[in-house]
Amino acid sequence: MFRVVGVRLRESGRIQYFNCGAAAYPVGEYVIVEAERGEDYGLVMTEPEKILEVEIEQPPRKVVRGLTPADEERIAANRREGRAAMEICDAKIAERKLPMKLIDAEFSFDRSKIIFYFTADGRVDFRELVRDLASHFKARIELRQIGVRDEARMLGGIGCCGRQLCCATFLKDFEAVNIRMAKEQRLPLNPSKISGLCGRLLCCLRYEFDTYKELQRGMPREGTIVSTPLGEGRVRDVNLLSQSVGVEFENGRVAQVEAKDVSRPKGKRPKT
């Protein structure tokens, strides 16, 4: 059995799980971890949890330590150097007239590698660019093409809800989102209302979808004839969050009734 924590490597990586042993690393604390080559740093994103050996293919890498003052100085220096590296890379992209947009650049913790993130409409032949950068920086160079959702995660921002973007804070991975989820949640199908800063459907449509499906269970459909303490009427609208329905009665009156007080009379069918 392993005791692990989820760590987001560097500033823009995906969350990975590392063996933390008996040590306590609070959420929001930076740590040094064992990476593929050498050491790297990341932000603790989850509370510790236990996993069985049979649940994973190979033992997770370890959390080495919390950040020391020397580690913090190195990370700060790497960030400064990353901004400078972006300027150099941008100039070389313009020089070679490559159809790509540079998003970010970051040094590995040990400065043996520099990762450049970019977006592009299609495939880009950047082999000559890699040679230019490797010659200039004397380090391993990786150019990584990312999508618009990853771009939003890296750059951050404020969503339409007024909070920081989910992808840039707590969201672990991107999952598929489709328009049916917006319909099930009774949202207006206006692209500007259900799209995030990345231009794609809001991530919250996916991770809130199961809750809405549960709230939908047992609720009458619109147009259904129902019996209420106020008499029989037809369901005009359904409010999943408040678990109530708007019912229109024969005299034209409309009232909000709690779903638990609504039942369908026998033989009555929804209006088609």
Which residue, chain included where needed, has tokens 């540079």?
102
Q: What pLDDT is stored for residue 125 in this prediction?
A: 93
Read off the tokens for 129: 């660019």
Q: What pLDDT is stored for residue 217 in this prediction?
A: 86
pTM of the entire predicted model: 0.72
Q: Would you give per-residue pLDDT tens digits along the chain (272 residues)?
A: 899 999 988 665 678 899 999 898 999 899 999 987 678 888 898 899 988 877 778 889 999 999 999 999 999 999 999 999 999 999 999 999 999 999 999 898 888 889 999 999 999 999 999 999 999 999 899 999 998 988 888 888 999 889 999 888 877 778 889 999 998 888 889 988 899 999 999 999 998 899 998 898 888 888 889 999 999 999 999 998 899 999 999 888 999 999 999 887 755 555 55
- The sign of the CA dihedral 181, 153, 196, 46 is positive
**CB-count exposure of residue 162 (10 Å: 0-12, 13-18, 19+):** exposed
Q: Largest Cα–Cα distance in the chain?
A: 82
Q: What pLDDT is stored for residue 1 in this prediction?
A: 86
Q: What pLDDT is stored for residue 268 in this prediction?
A: 55
Between CA 71 and CA 2 the distance in angstroms is: 26
Q: What are phi and psi of 214, to 5 degrees?
A: -65, -40
Which residue, chain included where needed, has tokens 């009774």?
186
